[in-house]
């Protein structure tokens, strides 16, 4: 299930890299041994996990997990650290190619996020949760889209960006 | 700053080649396409003379950092510079940033999937990175997020962004057709107007005609509407004034419309929209047929060349 605040929230991470890079030093062994994470690496960044600290990129050759894309890092954090109250990511970090994975993560995990982007559509995916702006239920992708339009505008008009 | 630039940044593995002809370029799109790597390459390029990253651009490239408290003065002190900012720079969404960009003598490359509400930029400023492999290198280029459709569609209603000259013109031209013309009364109202319209008339198809030169910050919202509802379309010519100039009702140098980047100085204009308006106002004055954005001179509504040009454009897009 997703709990989402629509609009720009300065407290949310629009770039998950600093958190990911710091935590990766501790958790890389368990994160990159997980088959679900390996599949995300393969699909989103078209790369292959060779070992927990070495990824094979088709462009850069062997890279560190720190060099993965911001969208993939956000997905890994949401999947692995969903229980961490301090983890508050803005979905603007994720591109459209993260959507199938986000939908699967939100089906498996309870995640709290913000969303200041329109560049992400859950069309065709089962998505449900709570809109934190007014506490209302999000029943499906259309609801997500409608509430996002309404609240991103409201938050902006309130002067928060 | 004005002009068209091909900014090339090349590292041992990747060659970025970005064609930049407007003051603001916003890069969004899928994860893993190389946005952050591009910013990192720029960072390496300017931070280390022995860096393996090179560029064809001999001027200055400046990378803004997320926690930089001096970004305003850095922009103000720069001239003829490519200024790059990644998504983590939250301040690119702020009004102060838009004010610093407006009339600045620099070009900006901003990585952002969120709309930058306070900035004025074109739908053709909103790009993504696409890459293909040639030999040992990965070549990365920019591509517009909106593509021109060659499909003619049937629409029941056209929504214009403005309530004055553009709306008047389309109303007059389509008065004999079944297509209704309504005004959203402002760029910021277009998305809500469309949503309300499709909620009220779910069986009707609708297209907005907007000034593409300044609609960039609404584009992703509008594209989400197009995914949300079927039969919602978008037509985004540069501006209404651009179309009047293109109709050849006045004799002007083609370069003024084809190579706008050579004439539209960012110090004078925050977008090409203002440039086209000023150009039309000055040319029409010479011809003694002054153009007024607030109320369209009846000459334009009745001139055969203008009407034929607009009708041709509409019939290229719509089944009239």
pLDDT, mean over chain A? 94
CB B9 within 8 A of CB B55: yes
- Average pLDDT in the B30-57 region? 91
Query: CA angle, B69 as apex, B66 and B75 as ends, to 5°?
Result: 85
| Cβ neighbours of A125 in B, within 8 Å | none
Residue B135: its pLDDT value, please? 75
- Average pLDDT in the B4-25 region? 94
Q: Taking the CA atoms of B146, B150, B156 and B157 in sequence, report the sign of the dihedral they define.
A: positive
Q: What is the pLDDT of residues B244-256, one digit of tens each?
A: 999 999 999 999 9
CB contact under 8 A, B36 and A17: yes
Cβ neighbors of B295 (< 8 A, separation 6 or more) are B164, B165, B168
CB contact under 8 A, B32 and A95: yes
| Cβ neighbours of B113 in A, within 8 Å | 92-95, 117, 119-120
Q: With b meaning 16 or more CB within 10 Å and e meaning fewer, what string describes B101-125?
A: bbebbbbbbbbbbbbbbbbbbbbbb
How far A43 CA lies from chain B's nearest CA (Å)?
A: 10
Q: Looking at the complex, does the CB of residue A93 fall below 8 Å from at least one CB of chain B?
A: yes
Residue B116 has pLDDT above 60, yes or no: yes
Count how many pairs of residues, chain A against chain B, have C-beta atoms within 8 Å: 112
CB contact under 8 A, A156 and B117: yes
Q: What is the pLDDT of residues A15-47, one digit of tens each?
A: 999 999 999 989 999 999 999 999 999 999 999
Q: What is the pLDDT of residues B141-158, one digit of tens each?
A: 998 888 777 677 889 999
Name the residue with higher pLDDT: A86 or B276: B276
What is the C-alpha end-to-end distance of chain B, expressed in Å? 42
Residue A158 has pLDDT above 80, yes or no: no
Residue with tokens 């990911």, as numbered in its chain: A20
CB A102 within 8 A of CB A91: yes
- Average pLDDT in the B80-89 region? 95
Assign B259 to helix, strand or coil: coil
Distance CA B223, CA B266 (A): 27
* Closest residue, chain A, to B114 (C-alpha): A117
A46: Cα separation from own chain's centroid: 17
E-assigned strand segments in B99-155: 107-111, 126-134, 137-144
Q: Looking at the complex, does the CB of residue A124 fall below 8 Å from at least one CB of chain B?
A: no
In the structure, what pLDDT confidence band is assigned to residue A161 with cuts at 50, 70 and 90?
A: very low
Residue B13: its pLDDT value, please? 86
CB contact under 8 A, B87 and A153: no
How far A26 CA lies from chain B's nearest CA (Å)?
A: 23
- Average pLDDT in the B152-165 region? 91
Distance CA A71, CA A61 (A): 20
Q: Looking at the complex, does the CB of residue A21 fall below 8 Å from at least one CB of chain B?
A: no
- Average pLDDT in the B84-110 region? 95
């Amino acid at each position: 299930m997703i709990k989402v605040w629509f609009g720009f929230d300065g407290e949310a991470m629009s770039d998950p890299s600093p958190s990911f890079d710091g935590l990766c030093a501790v958790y890389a062994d368990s994160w990159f041994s997980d088959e679900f994470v390996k599949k995300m690496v393969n699909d989103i960044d078209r790369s292959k996990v060779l070992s927990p600290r070495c990824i094979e990129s088709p462009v850069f050759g062997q890279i560190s997990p720190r060099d993965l894309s911001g969208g993939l890092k956000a997905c890994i954090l949401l999947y692995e650290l969903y229980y961490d109250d301090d983890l508050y990511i803005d979905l603007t970090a994720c591109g459209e190619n993260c959507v199938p994975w986000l939908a699967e993560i939100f089906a498996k995990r309870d995640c709290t996020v913000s969303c200041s982007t329109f560049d992400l559509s859950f069309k065709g995916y089962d998505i449900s949760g709570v809109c934190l702006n007014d506490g209302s239920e999000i029943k499906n992708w259309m609801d997500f889209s409608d509430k996002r339009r309404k609240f991103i505008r409201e938050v902006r008009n309130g002067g928060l960006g | 700053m004005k002009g068209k630039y091909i900014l090339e940044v090349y590292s041992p593995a990747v060659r970025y080649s970005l064609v930049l002809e407007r003051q603001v370029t916003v890069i969004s799109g899928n994860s893993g396409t190389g946005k952050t790597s591009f910013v990192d390459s720029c960072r390496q390029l300017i931070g280390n003379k022995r860096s393996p990253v090179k560029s064809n651009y001999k001027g200055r490239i400046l990378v803004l950092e997320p926690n930089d408290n001096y970004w305003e003065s850095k922009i103000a002190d720069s001239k003829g510079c490519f200024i790059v900012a990644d998504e983590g720079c939250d301040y690119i969404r702020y009004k102060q940033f838009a004010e610093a960009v407006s009339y600045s003598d620099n070009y900006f490359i901003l990585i952002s999937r969120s709309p930058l509400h306070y900035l004025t930029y074109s739908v053709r400023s909103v790009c993504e990175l696409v890459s293909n492999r040639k030999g040992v290198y990965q070549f990365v280029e920019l591509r517009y997020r909106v593509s021109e459709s060659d499909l003619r569609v049937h629409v029941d209603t056209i929504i214009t962004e403005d309530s004055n000259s553009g709306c008047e013109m389309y109303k007059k031209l389509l008065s004999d057709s079944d297509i209704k013309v309504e005004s959203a009364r402002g760029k910021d109202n277009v998305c809500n107007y469309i949503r309300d319209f499709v909620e009220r008339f779910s069986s009707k198809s609708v297209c907005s005609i907007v000034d593409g030169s300044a609609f960039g910050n609404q584009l992703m919202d509008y594209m989400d509407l197009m995914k949300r509802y079927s039969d919602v379309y978008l037509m985004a010519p540069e501006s209404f004034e651009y179309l009047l100039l293109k109709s050849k009702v006045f004799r002007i140098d083609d370069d003024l419309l084809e190579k706008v980047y050579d004439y539209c100085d960012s110090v004078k204009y925050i977008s090409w929209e203002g440039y086209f308006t000023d150009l039309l106002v000055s040319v029409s004055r010479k011809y003694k047929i002054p153009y007024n954005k607030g109320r369209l001179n009846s000459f334009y509504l009745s001139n055969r060349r203008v009407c034929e040009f607009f009708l041709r454009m509409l019939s290229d897009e719509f089944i009239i």
